[in-house]
């Protein structure tokens, strides 16, 4: 059984009666049909209280059945704030109400409503701020009471992604106007994407009644859907929310868990209009709903919205609602029409049902059941009569049809003007930008024929704008007719209050009046002070009455008061949807998997992954062992991540001379030379080596994280200087290893056609040749201070190179070593790492790198700044230090402070326990007068201890460089 | 099905492990070891590829040249290069040359591993203002083919790559899954195909992104034999 209120077919467009769905609400089992929303299934089961209000914890039920209001926000296991009137049922769904303590039906916090006198508008700003410190106490209490739903930290991440889409004409809204626009644009040849937030196309045609036989809207819908289906150039996206329109007709469409980034040449906004609640006492009771909500329940879900109803209306739509109710078996106790003399073709039909017609009257209050959980009647009073003459009509359903506001949010996003129009008694859109078109009820046209004509007109204009041939004989539609449908001010104050203007925030009429009295007359200030329109509904139902109340309170014309700014998004959007599938590029060396197979612990280096060290166990011990292997035998490290740049052309030397601090004019072919790059302010930004492969060809290395910046700088300067030189970034094209240690030569000499003897291939020489049939560039370098060869090969040969070397070195114990051991080894040699031992202000003199500056050449980037710095006194200096009293367990960390007389005088940049020297060594910035060798300075450890460091000449190890130059 | 171990060869694609995992069969070509099949028959794969297929062509030959004299130099050597950038130009031997800019072109070589045009240019005397670009090692090269390709690539790339907008021979230098990439429309007769050339160091990342995007459409990895079937070669 899916509920006592379930109606027989044919009503129930969206439900599949052959598929029953079981779900739980508030711990109780219910059944619905496939296609039901949570709310429709609950209503079918006569369950009307779905959630509680935010401030006063008032029971709330369906209001719009369109997902536009906060009345039906419910909690799912892994998701709060779900619109129960939009979320489709799924098997086993577990649903709870929100904003209650205890149970939804017996909320322990419902007493808050009795405190409303103490919670006036703006009470946040009036209370809690004194005495000083009081807010801290209040805030925990308020936070405990406030908030919507609960976020489950156990929620698994949903898969969301994004896609790009393109079309000539995007039509947003699949109602009568949207369908007609899409068909017309497609007829003119445009590629059309038709977007609708609902499951079924048709908009109000799916549920509204436009004639006595109820057949007109159905037939029109079927005809239009058939035409859409015939058009191959219309792509239909249903259950898709156009959540914002941005620059250049970029439409953000949320389609399931996907954010579709749609680019359209032209856009037709046919988003319709939103029916508005009337403001009267207890207008928020469950059982009080929009007329359109009742029709949605009947036609879309086959649910009877009540047993005995009153229809409160200001237009002829209300009569259609009454007829629909009658036909589904609901007794209509009365139609209360605010108009004195309504003319309506449906009136005779209602009279056939003996429906009481009360004209020229207003509903001034809903009467609640003793429990306060449902409407049980209404108070009605004739206009211009005192409230004491009000009379009651019993009912369990009150349908309100007193007017509309355009769903103009998307048009606001693109800068259209939306302001109150006195002649239409609602907001009206004007000044729509070029390339954006609108049609139908969003332009305050409600007559079905006019709406359709407007759609065709807009579709044609959009297709023409998109470059397709204009269609002839399409006439502009009739002017807006909303005045026939909108009550001029459906606000009926009651001496006992509780006339809610904003259901999200439980704002009553007097709250807005009080806010105006407090001086917040400007509509944006009124919004922020009162929180009008700041809840989940974003003013969909409160904006119009808010403006009308403010207008009446201030005496200003509502069209002058304006309207609060409407910004994207149109509806709530999940962070996961915005984030989409994360794209985080990762760069891997060709030898990456060999490192993993060898047990490497990988670490990020920019976008790259590099082996920090190999194996498990004590990290520091492993690193020291790796370093000792290099010092005493042979080690192999992957240096593929180093940047590589080919500098080619007749002006290569001149180019390098300008880009780097050294001089390269006399660098011989087959030799490498250190390169140090500074920026225009003289700050060190990168280093590496330049290998001269021919007169006009240098292969320049750069740091892993710096190469992209170096490359871009080179391109920029090359464009300025117009030298005959080409710069190519070949970082990924070449991979490399550094085979280092006294036995390194023994490993490679049998593998290569290059003579690697000391005499033929000296320190800092460069050779090209082959190693194990792999084309290679060989460099004698000394970063780790041992005999060593950097071997660079094309990347697709990288893994084979690693295999060949590891295999050849196996017999003599070749050891792979990681970045951490390399850092230790270079520290022993006193070599700096750019970015670790330098910072964003370090110039060469501070880093003791004056030796790398050529003073003979006229210019290099940063030369003028360095020249100035050289003439100034240097405030700090990078020095080497040892800590004689420290052991391997008391090594300072990077960035720990150098302290002098209680003040900071510098910081440590690198430090380690050297296994070969058996002492703690490091680099630190100290004040210039502390930098003299054998001076001491104090380092403060993280735990507050202090250690004494002695300034030491660099390098710490093998100062004569004999080991690397053998 | 594997009968040739790509790890036994000195030139290896960064994707070879992923291809081994699915049991791909490899063959040796002039330019390296490539996955020729991922299932029992190339015909079956070709049928799948008509829907959506992904293939690794990283070890197929490629060459690139740039510099102010590069285009004229190539023309003088008989290479046909038109005036429009971001276009491919077919040569008499079915090789395609991709003009990337006023000063740069790229030659994606054949599936067979041989490419006379590449060989000819690499052995020709280089003039001042002509510089080689190591495309074969700087970039990975994948091909995505089949009717679902535009929809699939739309999840990764912001360029309109639909078949009626991005025609055969069109080239886009763009971003795919946040990586710089060159996309070349290069159909296999009636089957739309898009070559993707990107950073070789990020090949694994890109492959995973493509696989992830493909899964929604039931795409599969195919070998070069299936592509030859589609090409009719």
Give the mean model confidence (pLDDT) for residues A64-86. Answer: 95
Q: Is it the case that residue B1 has pLDDT exceeding 60?
A: no
Give the nearest chain B residue to A589 (CA atoms).
Answer: B201
Question: B121 and B162 share a domain?
Answer: no
pLDDT single digits (tens) B191-213 = 999 999 999 999 999 999 999 99
What tokens were used for A289?
Answer: 């709903």
A171, A187 in Cβ contact below 8 A? no
User: How many CB atoms within 10 Å of residue A602?
Assistant: 17
Write down the pLDDT at residue A705.
Answer: 93
Indicate the average pLDDT of chain B. 95
A292 and chain B in contact, CB less than 8 A: no
Kindly report the nearest CA distance between residue B23 and chain A, in angstroms.
Answer: 18
pLDDT above 90 (res A710) = yes
pLDDT for the residue numbered A966: 87
How do strand A635-638 and strand A608-614 relate by DSSP bridges? unpaired
Element spanning A652, H or E: helix A652-659
Q: Which one is the CATH code of A595-641+733-830: 2.60.120.10, 3.30.1360.120, 3.40.50.300, 3.30.1330.10?
A: 3.30.1360.120
Question: A162-274+406-484 and A277-402 share one CATH topology?
Answer: yes
Q: How far is B158 from chain A (nearest CA, A)?
A: 6
Residues B177 and B78 in one domain: no
pLDDT at B108: 95
Q: Are B10 and A800 within 8 A, CB to CB?
A: yes
Burial classification of residue A702, based on how many CB atoms lie within 10 Å of its CB (0-12 exposed, 13-18 middle, 19 or more buried)? buried
Instruction: Extract long-range pairs of A224-227: CB within 8 Å, 24+ residues apart.
Output: A224/A176, A224/A179, A224/A180, A224/A183, A225/A179, A225/A201, A227/A179, A227/A183
A422: helix, coil or strand?
A: coil
- pLDDT band, residue A111 (cuts 50/70/90): confident
B77 with B112, same domain? Answer: yes
Residue A657 forms beta bridges with which residues? none
Euclidean distance between CA atoms A528 and A943, whole angstroms: 48
Query: A479 phi and psi, to 5 degrees?
Result: -65, 165
Within 10 A of A760 (CB to CB), how many other CB atoms are there? 10
pLDDT of residue B80: 96
Q: Which two tokens stand for residue A493?
A: 């104050």
Domain assignment of residue B1, yes or no: no
Q: What CA–CA distance (Å, rounded) separates B47 from A39?
A: 47
Q: What is the pLDDT of residue A587?
A: 98
Supply angle C-alpha A204, A377, A61, rounded to 5.
50
- Chain B residues in contact with A607 by the CB 8 A cut-off are 202
Say which residues have a Cβ less than 8 Å from residue A887's Cβ, sequence separation at least 6: A913, A920
When mean pLDDT is compared across A425-429, A436-440, A578-582, A784-788, the lowest value belongs to: A578-582
Please indicate, yes or no, whether residues B47 and B145 belong to a single structural domain of this protein.
yes
pLDDT value at A274 more than 90: yes
Q: How far is CA A837 from CA A680, A898, A930, A931, B33, in A?
A: 20, 15, 18, 16, 44
Same domain, B87 and B152: no
The two structure tokens encoding residue A848: 């003791």
- Listing DSSP states for A563-627 in one string gives -----S-SS---HHHHH-S-----B--TTHHHHHHTTEEEEEETTEEEEEEESSS-HHHHHHHHH
- Which residue in A189, A581, A583, A752 has the most chain B C-beta atoms within 10 A of its own C-beta, making it the best mutation to test that interface? A583
Q: Which chain A residue has its CA at the smallest distance from B17's CA?
A: A593
List the beta strands (DSSP E) in A115-256.
Answer: 161-172, 192-195, 234-237, 240-246, 250-255
Across the range A194-201, mean pLDDT stands at 97
Q: Give the N- to C-terminal CA distance of chain A in Å, as an integer.
A: 91
- Mean pLDDT on A764-788: 96
Q: Determine how many CB atoms are found less than 10 A away from the CB of residue A957.
A: 18
Average pLDDT over residues A417-424: 96
Decide if domain A496-574 falls under CATH 1.10.10.1100.
yes
Do B145 and B56 lie in one domain? The reply is yes
CA distance A322 to chain B (A): 47
Residues 611-650 of A with CB under 8 A from B: 640, 646, 648-650
What's residue A150's pLDDT?
87
A112: pLDDT confidence band, cut at 50, 70 and 90?
Answer: confident
Percent of chain A with pLDDT over 90: 88
| Phi, then psi, of A56 in degrees rounded to 5 | -100, 0
Choose among B12, B151, B209: nearest Cβ to A800.
Answer: B12
Residue B197: how many other CB atoms lie within 10 Å: 27
Question: Torsions phi, psi of A821, nearest 5?
Answer: -65, -40
Does B178 lie in the same domain as B218?
yes
Question: Which fold would CATH assign to domain A162-274+406-484?
Answer: FAD/NAD(P)-binding domain (3.50.50)
Domain-located, residue B195: yes
Which residue is it, tokens 């391109």? A715
> Residue A564, CB half-sphere, CA atoms under 13 Å: how many?
25
The CATH superfamily holding the domain A277-402 is FAD/NAD(P)-binding domain (3.50.50.60)
| Spatial separation of the C-alpha atoms in residues A773 and A770, rounded to whole Å | 5
More confident residue, A207 or A130: A207
The CATH homologous superfamily of the domain defined by A643-730: Aminomethyltransferase beta-barrel domains (3.30.70.1400)
Closest C-alpha to A660, from A642, A641, A679, A640: A679
CB contact under 8 A, A796 and B58: yes
Is there a contact between A164 and B17 if contact means CB atoms under 8 Å apart? no
Tokens 């240019």 — which residue? B121
Over residues A872-880, the mean pLDDT reads 92
The residue among B135, B153, B183 that closes a domain is B135
Has residue A338 got a pLDDT over 80?
Answer: yes
Query: With contacts defined as CB-CB under 8 Å, which chain B residues touch A731?
Result: 201
Asked whether residue B10 falls in the same domain as residue B78, the answer is no
Contact A243, A252 (CB under 8 A): yes
- Chain A nearest CA to B162, separation (Å): 9
Other Cβ atoms closer than 10 A to A194: 29
> CA-to-CA distance for A306 and A374, rounded, in angstroms?
11
In a domain, B211, yes or no: yes
Domain hosting B119: range is: 62-135
Among residues B75, B105, B135, the one where a domain terminates is B135
**Average of pLDDT values for A151-169?**
92
Q: Do B14 and A588 touch (CB under 8 A)?
A: yes
**B145 domain-assigned:** yes
> Between chain A and chain B, how many beta carbons pairs sit less than 8 Å apart?
109
Q: Yes or no: say if A304 and A7 are a contact pair by the CB < 8 Å rule.
A: yes
Last residue of a domain, one of B113, B135, B157: B135
Nearest by CB: A796 against B17, B137, B202: B137
pLDDT above 70 covers a percentage of chain B that reads 99
Q: Is the distance from CB of A771 to CB of A802 less than 8 angstroms?
A: no
Chain B residues inside the 8 Å CB shell of A727: none
Please answer yes or no on whether B10 and A772 come within 8 Å at the CB atom.
yes
B211 to chain A, closest Cα gap in Å: 13
Residues B116 and B211 in one domain: no
Q: Do A607 and B202 touch (CB under 8 A)?
A: yes
The confidence score (pLDDT) of residue A148 equals 80
Q: Domain holding B160: CATH number? A: 3.30.1360.120
Residue B76: which CATH number? Answer: 3.30.70
User: Domain total for chain B?
Assistant: 2
Give the chain A residue nearest B12 (alpha carbons). Answer: A796
Q: Is the pLDDT of residue B3 over 80?
A: no
Return mean pLDDT, chain A.
95
Q: 3-state DSSP call for residue A826?
A: helix
Tell me, yes or no, whether B52 and B80 share the same domain.
no
Q: Where are the domains of chain A?
A: 1-152, 162-274+406-484, 277-402, 496-574, 595-641+733-830, 643-730, 873-966
The CATH topology of domain A873-966 is Elongation Factor Tu (Ef-tu); domain 3 (2.40.30)
Q: Both B37 and B87 in a single domain?
A: no
Report whether A262 contacts B154 (CB < 8 A): no
> What tens digit of pLDDT does each residue of A877-896 get?
999 999 998 888 889 999 99
- pLDDT (mean) for B142-146: 98
Tell me the mean pLDDT in the region B24-32: 91
Residue B2's pLDDT is: 52
Task: Quote the CA–CA distance of A686 and A840 in Å, as a whole number.
Answer: 11
Residues B43 and B78 occupy one common structural domain = no
Give strand ranges (E) for A62-119: 73-76, 79-83, 93-96
Pick the closest to residue A241 from A258, A225, A226 (CA basis): A258
pLDDT recorded at residue A457:
98
On the question of pLDDT at A1 being above 70, the answer is: no
Distance CA A117, CA A120 (A): 6
Quickly count: other Cβ atoms within 10 Å of residue A748's Cβ. Answer: 22
Which A positions 772-801 lie with beta carbon below 8 A of chain B? 772-774, 794-797, 799-800
The answer to whether residue A212 scores a pLDDT higher than 80 is no
Neighbouring C-beta atoms of residue A966, cutoff 10 Å: 12
Nearest CA among A40, A220, A193 for reference residue B160? A193
Report the C-alpha gap between A519 and A515 in whole angstroms. 7
Residues A430, A434: Cα–Cα separation, whole Å:
12
CA distances from A136 to A126, A140, A485, A707 (A): 15, 7, 50, 50
Q: What is the CATH number of domain A1-152?
A: 3.10.20.440
Of A161, A608, A646, nearest to B155 by CB-CB distance is A161
Distances (CA, A) of A43 to A6, A98, A287, A366, B206: 9, 17, 10, 19, 50
- Note whether A585 contacts B: Cβ–Cβ < 8 A: yes
């Amino acid at each position: 059984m899916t509920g006592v209120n379930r109606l027989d077919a044919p009503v129930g467009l969206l439900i599949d009666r052959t598929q029953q769905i079981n779900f739980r609400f508030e711990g109780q089992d219910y059944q619905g049909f496939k296609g039901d929303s949570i709310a429709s299934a609950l209503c079918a089961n006569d369950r009307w209280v779905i959630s509680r209000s935010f401030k006063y914890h008032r029971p709330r039920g369906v209001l719009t059945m369109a997902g536009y209001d906060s009345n039906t926000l419910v909690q799912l296991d892994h998701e709060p704030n779900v619109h129960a009137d939009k979320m489709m049922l799924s098997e086993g769904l577990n649903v709870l109400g929100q904003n209650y303590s205890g149970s939804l039906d017996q909320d322990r916090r419902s007493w808050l409503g009795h405190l409303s006198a103490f919670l006036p508008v703006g009470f946040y700003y009036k209370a809690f701020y004194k005495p000083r410190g009081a807010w801290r106490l209040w805030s925990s209490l308020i936070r405990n009471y406030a908030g919507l739903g609960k976020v489950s930290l156990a929620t698994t991440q949903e898969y969301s992604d994004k896609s790009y889409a393109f079309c000539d004409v995007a039509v947003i809204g699949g109602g009568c106007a949207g369908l007609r626009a899409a068909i017309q644009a497609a007829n003119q040849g445009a590629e059309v994407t038709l977007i609708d937030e609902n499951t079924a196309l048709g908009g109000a045609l799916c549920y509204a009644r436009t004639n006595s036989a109820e057949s007109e809207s159905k037939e029109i819908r079927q005809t239009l859907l058939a035409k859409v289906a015939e058009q191959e150039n219309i792509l239909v996206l249903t259950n898709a929310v156009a959540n914002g329109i941005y620059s250049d007709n970029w439409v953000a469409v949320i389609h399931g868990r996907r954010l579709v980034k749609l680019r359209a040449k032209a856009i037709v906004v046919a988003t319709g209009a939103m029916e508005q609640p009337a403001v009267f006492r207890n207008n928020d009771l469950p059982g009080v709903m929009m007329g359109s909500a009742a029709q949605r329940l009947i036609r879309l879900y086959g649910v009877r919205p009540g047993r005995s109803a009153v229809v409160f209306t200001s237009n002829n739509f209300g009569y259609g609602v009454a007829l629909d109710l009658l036909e589904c078996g609901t007794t209509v106790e009365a139609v209360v029409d605010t108009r004195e003399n309504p003319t309506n073709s449906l009136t005779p039909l209602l009279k056939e049902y003996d429906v009481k017609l009360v004209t020229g009257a207003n509903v001034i209050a809903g009467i609640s059941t003793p429990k306060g959980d449902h409407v049980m009647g209404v108070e009605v009073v004739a206009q211009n009569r005192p409230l004491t003459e009000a009379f009651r009509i019993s009912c369990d359903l009150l349908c309100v049809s007193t007017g509309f506001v355009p769903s103009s949010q998307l048009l606001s996003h693109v800068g259209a003007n939306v302001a109150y129009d006195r002649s239409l008694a609602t907001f009206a859109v004007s000044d729509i930008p070029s390339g954006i078109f609108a049609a139908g009820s969003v332009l305050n046209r409600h007559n079905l024929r006019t709406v359709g004509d407007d759609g065709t007109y807009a579709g044609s204009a959009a297709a023409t704008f998109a470059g397709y041939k204009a269609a002839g004989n399409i006439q502009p539609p009739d002017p807006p007719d909303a005045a026939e449908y909108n009550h001029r001010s459906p606000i009926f104050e009651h001496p006992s209050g509780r006339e809610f203007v904003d259901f999200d925030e439980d704002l009553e009429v007097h709250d807005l009046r009080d806010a105006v009295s407090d001086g917040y007359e400007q509509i944006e200030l009124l919004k922020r002070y009162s929180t009008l329109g700041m809840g989940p509904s974003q003013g969909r139902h409160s904006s119009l009455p808010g403006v009308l109340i403010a207008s009446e309170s201030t005496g200003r014309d509502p069209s002058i008061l304006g309207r609060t700014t409407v910004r994207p998004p149109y509806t709530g959007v999940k962070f996961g949807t915005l984030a989409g599938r994360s794209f985080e590029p990762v760069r891997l060396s060709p030898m990456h998997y060999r490192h993993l197979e060898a047990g490497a612990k990988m670490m990020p280096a920019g976008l790259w992954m590099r082996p920090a060290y190999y194996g498990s166990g004590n990290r520091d011990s492993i690193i020291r062992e790796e370093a000792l292997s290099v010092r005493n035998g042979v080690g192999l490290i992957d240096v593929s991540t180093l940047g590589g740049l080919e500098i080619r052309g007749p002006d290569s030397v001149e180019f390098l001379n300008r880009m780097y601090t050294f001089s390269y004019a006399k660098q011989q072919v087959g030799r490498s030379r250190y390169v140090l790059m500074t920026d225009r302010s003289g700050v060190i930004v990168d280093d590496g080596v330049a290998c001269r492969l021919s007169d006009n060809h240098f292969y320049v290395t750069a740091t892993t994280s710096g190469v992209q910046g170096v490359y871009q700088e080179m391109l920029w300067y090359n464009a300025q200087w117009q030298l005959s030189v080409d710069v190519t970034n070949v970082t990924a094209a070449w991979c490399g290893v550094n085979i280092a240690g006294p036995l390194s030569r023994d490993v490679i000499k049998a593998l290569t056609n290059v003579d690697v003897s000391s005499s033929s291939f000296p320190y800092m020489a460069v050779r090209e040749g082959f190693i194990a049939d792999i084309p290679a560039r060989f460099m004698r370098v000394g970063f780790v201070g041992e005999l060593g060869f950097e071997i660079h090969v094309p990347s697709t040969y990288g893994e084979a190179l690693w295999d060949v070397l590891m295999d050849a070195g196996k017999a003599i114990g070749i050891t792979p070593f990681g970045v951490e051991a390399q850092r230790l080894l270079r520290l022993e040699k006193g070599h700096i790492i750019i970015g670790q031992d330098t910072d964003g202000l370090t110039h060469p003199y501070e880093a003791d790198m004056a030796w790398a500056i050529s003073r003979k050449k006229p210019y290099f980037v940063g030369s003028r700044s360095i020249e100035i710095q050289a003439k100034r006194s240097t405030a700090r200096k990078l020095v080497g230090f040892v800590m004689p009293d420290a052991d391997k367990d008391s090594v300072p960390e990077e960035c720990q402070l150098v302290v002098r007389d209680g003040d900071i005088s510098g910081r440590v940049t690198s430090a380690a326990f050297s296994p070969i020297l058996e002492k703690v060594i490091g680099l630190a910035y100290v004040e210039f007068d502390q930098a003299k060798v054998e001076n001491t300075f104090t380092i403060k450890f993280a735990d507050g201890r202090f250690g004494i460091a002695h300034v030491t000449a660099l390098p710490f190890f093998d100062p004569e460089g004999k080991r690397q130059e053998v | 099905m594997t009968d040739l171990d790509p790890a036994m060869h000195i030139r290896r694609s960064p994707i070879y492990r992923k291809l081994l995992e699915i049991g791909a069969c490899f063959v040796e070509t002039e330019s390296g070891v490539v996955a020729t099949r991922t299932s029992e028959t190339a015909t079956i794969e070709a049928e799948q590829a008509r829907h959506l297929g992904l293939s690794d062509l990283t070890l197929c030959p490629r060459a690139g040249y740039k510099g102010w004299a590069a285009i004229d130099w190539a023309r003088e050597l008989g290479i046909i290069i038109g005036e429009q950038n971001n276009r491919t130009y077919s040569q008499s031997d079915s090789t395609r040359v991709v003009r990337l800019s006023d000063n740069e072109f790229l030659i994606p070589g054949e599936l067979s591993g041989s490419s006379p045009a590449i060989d000819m240019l690499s052995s020709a005397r280089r003039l001042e203002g002509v510089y080689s670009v190591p495309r074969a090692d700087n970039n990975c090269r994948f091909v995505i083919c089949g009717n679902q390709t535009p929809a699939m690539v739309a999840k990764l790339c912001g360029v309109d790559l639909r078949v009626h907008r991005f025609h055969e021979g069109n080239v886009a230098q763009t971003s795919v899954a946040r990586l710089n990439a060159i996309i070349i429309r290069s159909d296999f007769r009636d089957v739309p195909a898009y070559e993707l050339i990107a950073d070789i160091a990020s090949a694994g990342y890109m492959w995973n992104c493509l696989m992830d995007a493909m899964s929604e459409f039931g795409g599969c990895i195919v070998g070069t034999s299936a592509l030859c079937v589609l090409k009719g070669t």
